[in-house]
Amino acid sequence: MLIELPPELTIDTIDDLVDRWSDQDPNITIDLSRNRWVHPIGTVALSCLAARALTRGCNPSFKVDGCRNLGYWQRMRFFENFGLSGIPSGGEPKSAEGRFSEVTKILDINDTDRIAEELVRVASPAEEALQTYSHIVSEALNNVCQHSRGQGFCASQYYPEGESYAFVF
């Protein structure tokens, strides 16, 4: 089964991706060649789909030839989360500091405070808001650990042009 990612993987395009996804075919190839931009919700959603496929005995692979956004996928540690090697370099990675947190697996409730800190650090909240942000994000991560049947994923990103943040679990 071949799944082509859209040029922009956002909240508006995820439904189509999920509708085309099938865990019935043991060989799923995700084609990133047309992808130009991805929102954290896209990296997290695709991580969840790929992880679910693995637990169901599928063998997802990734076609990256021609992907103009390959460096971003690599910088977000997307491929690392699945132990994939042999992906060609997408260029020299830039520091994530103050811009985003990588896609992180949520496996253990004992890691949620550390992960929450990484996610919240991207938002750079004022000192008086830091504890509130951290508590909300930590509670959401705890819920993933307590109520999911496996693992979850999360990421965050700051968009300076609109001064907005994206936290995705």
State how far the Cα of 102 lies from the Cα of 7, in Å rounded to an integer.
21
Average pLDDT for the chain: 87
The CATH number that domain 1-91 falls under is 3.30.750.24
Report pLDDT digits (tens) over 91-102.
676 666 778 889
- pLDDT at residue 81, as a whole number: 87
Residue 102 CA to residue 139 CA, distance in Å, equals 19
Q: Are 90 and 72 in contact (CB under 8 A)?
A: yes
Of the two residues 52 and 151, the one the predictor is more confident about is: 52
Q: What's residue 93's pLDDT?
A: 66
Instruction: Look at residue 24 in the predicted model and tell me its pLDDT.
Output: 79
- What is each CA distance from 79 to 12, 16, 146, in whole angstroms? 23, 22, 26
Selection from 17, 59, 22 nearest residue 39 by Cα: 17
Q: Which two tokens stand for residue 25?
A: 């075919």
Of 103, 101, 99, 102, the C-alpha closest to 161 is 99
Q: Is the pTM of this model over 0.85?
A: yes
Q: What is the pLDDT of residues 123-145, one digit of tens each?
A: 888 888 989 999 999 999 998 88
104-128: pLDDT as tens digits: 999 888 999 999 998 888 888 888 8
Of the chain, the percentage scoring pLDDT greater than 90 comes to: 39
The edge-to-edge listing of strands for the beta sheet with 2-4 is 2-4, 29-31, 61-63
Tokens found for residue 30: 């995700």
Sorted by where each begins, the domain ranges of the chain are 1-91, 95-169
87: pLDDT strictly greater than 80? no
